[in-house]
Structure 1
């Protein structure tokens, strides 16, 4: 791999992570934190899911996702459906309230990204999105 390219990517990723962390800490977008947004998005996009499935998807510990989904359930964003075969297991489904919160937050996030990229060409935005998706898939 080209050493210069690797150095640029590493530094730019570090800067991006810092800026996103800073922005989300001081200028929250929407009412959902990142974990709630991603969990609701996953359930909404792919249908009901178990805590284990969600933990596997996000490469997180089951206990972490269990705690996060319990918070979503407490807020009325998801509800549990018991597994008919294994009474200890359940899948999570998004509620109308959860879908509304997700859509509101998605809109706010997309508006912020559009604002940041408004001076970019349509082609650059498309390429950037495709490369981000490709990069994210490398973690699977």
Structure 2
């Protein structure tokens, strides 16, 4: 049966995501799931952020982000900074422990990708990155 390009992309993305998550959630090297990794990366890269801003960034509801950030706070990876204008609001800042855990998990992810892309030309690697960025940037 002939697949359309969209059908091919859909199944290849599903396989890629399954393999990547399985390889990068090895509990022997770090303990961040995909959501925790992305939240810590966002806060580390862009500075402290509130739950509302994170929910908007990830296109998730505030209750989901609240639950995920509460787990990060419980593990000591983030801490709350009270909003001086609104006593109920706060921003989240990454801790040294969070920075270290993020770095460890990033190292694992990079090792996985390096291994799987080692036979690709640098031009193919660049193009793959550009296409993934284009895909992820599409609203």
With normalisation by structure 1, the TM-score equals 0.88
Q: What's the C-alpha RMSD, in Å, of the aligned pairs?
A: 1.8
Partner of 1:106: 106
Q: Deviations over 1:65-96 (max 9, x none)?
A: 10110111111110101111011000000011
Distance in 2, Cα, partners of 1:17 & 1:103? 21
Secondary structure of the residue aligned to 1:54 is helix
Partner of 1:17: 17
Partner of 1:57: 57
The 1:19/1:109 distance shift into structure 2, 3 A limit, reads: closer
State the 1:22 CA deviation.
Answer: 4.6
Partner of 2:127: 127
Confirm or deny: 8 A CA contact 1:79 1:92 kept in the other structure.
yes
Confirm or deny: 8 A CA contact 2:76 2:98 kept in the other structure.
yes
Secondary structure of the residue aligned to 1:92 is strand
Partner of 1:40: 40
Partner of 2:74: 74
Confirm or deny: 8 A CA contact 1:81 1:93 kept in the other structure.
yes
Q: How many residue pairs get matched?
A: 136
Partner of 1:95: 95
Distance in 2, Cα, partners of 1:53 & 1:113? 30
With normalisation by structure 2, the TM-score equals 0.88
Distance in 1, Cα, partners of 2:81 & 2:20? 35
Gaps of 5+ in 1: none
Distance in 2, Cα, partners of 1:69 & 1:46? 16
Distance in 2, Cα, partners of 1:91 & 1:51? 7
My pick for the range that moved more, 46-55 or 5-14, is: 5-14
